[in-house]
Amino acid sequence: MVTTRYPPPLFSIAPMMECTNNHFRTLARLISRHAWLYTEMFAAETIVHQKGNLDKYLAFGQDQHPIVLQIGGSDLDNIAKATQLASSYGYDEINFNCGCPSPKVEKGCFGLQLMLDPKFVADAMSVISANSDVPVTVKCRIGVDSHDSYDELCDFIYKVSSQSPTKHFIIHSRKGLLKRLTPRQNRSIPPLKYEYYYALVRDFPNLQFTLNGGINTIDEVASALKEGAHGVMVGRAAYNNSWNLLADVDSAIYGAPPSGLTRRQVLAKYKAYANSVLGMYGSEPNVRELIKPLLGFFHSAPGNGLWKRKADAAFLKCSTVDSFFNETIIAIPDSVLDAPIVTASPVVGLSNVFANAKNLLPPPPSTLQDQELQHS
């Protein structure tokens, strides 16, 4: 298994539609060498349908390892075919989406909807594993609509893990509400229940769990790991505040020595990448698509507001990456561009919600004990 070559997934960046594409992943890897990267979710049907054009969707630079492909689907034949097609690209793991609450996904009867059908999920995971040679994982929530008890979550985890090769679950610690909330609302309105996550760690000692949901800083990542999380996945904060969040990952989470990397160095390498792929597929990617991952790069830094205004104007007239930077980079002071990464000091008095959650653990479900006896 290729994943043994890399540090464990103590920190990973969540799969996000229209965000974690090749361009953002390239930027993220320039900032952090150790963070685990995820693709956007690709529907199995899309992979099968685009089999003559898959490089546009699935190809990635080899420096992006470790990288995980996320797929979704509700047809086992298509899931098998998609896995076969994707396997040649050399992803380090394949993740199956059981947590996306978007109407499009629900209409296709996959994503979050699948948490109500653990047998199908187990079958899908077995199919994915049989058609690839890398570990398979599931990303899910803690419940769906009124099916949100800890017992029901344990039933899902137990059935999928006991009936398939799945040994690693990424747990978004909110339930999802189908129909009643938008995907954006589902990221914030349902309450976080970290106690469910830590109870899973307690009750399934032979499985690996990554914590996801509501985590926005490196301090929070470190606190969750200190309280026993196997790994932590961060989503929008990594995309919208990429430098401030990702620059600390290697030293603060993985213990690597400070790299001394600066924003100017990252931009020079990213610009070289952007120039190399501009218009690779006809009119795509264009300048706007290539610059989009950088819109959070100067978050809260002096000059950020002016840079964004200049970027908006440059998008209207610049057809090359070099001309875009010539128009915009003057907005950012040299002191920002040339400041090296410095490991942030811990925030004094940070509320440790994860330690508090461990005081709220639900009891182990009796149904889990009965199932273990039946299979012993």
Token pair for residue 103?
A: 């109407």
d(CA 38, CA 96): 12
Spot the catalytic one: 98, 100, 140, 154: 100
d(CA 223, CA 240): 21
Whether residue 118 has a cis bond before it, omega within 30° of 0: no
d(CA 75, CA 184): 27
d(CA 260, CA 339): 9
Token pair for residue 280?
A: 């690779």
Let me know the angle formed at the C-alpha of 110 by 159 and 127, rounded to the nearest 5 degrees: 55
- Name residues whose C-beta falls within 8 Å of residue 36's C-beta, 6 or more positions apart in sequence: 6, 9, 11, 12, 13, 66, 67, 68
154 is catalytic: no
Residue 139 region by backbone torsions, left for phi larger than 0, else alpha for psi between -120 and 50, else beta: beta
* Helix and strand numbers, DSSP H then E, in the chain: 19, 8
Q: Is the dihedral of CA 192, 33, 290, 139 positive or negative?
A: negative
| Residues 223/352, Cβ–Cβ less than 8 Å | yes
Whether residue 333 has a cis bond before it, omega within 30° of 0: no
Residue 90 region by backbone torsions, left for phi larger than 0, else alpha for psi between -120 and 50, else beta: left
Token pair for residue 78?
A: 């298509």
- Of 101, 76, 188, 89, nearest in space to 133 by CA: 89
How many other CB atoms are there within 10 angstroms of residue 116's CB atom?
A: 17
How many other CB atoms are there within 10 angstroms of residue 232's CB atom?
A: 24
Phi, psi of 164, deg, nearest 5: -155, 175
List the catalytic residues: 100
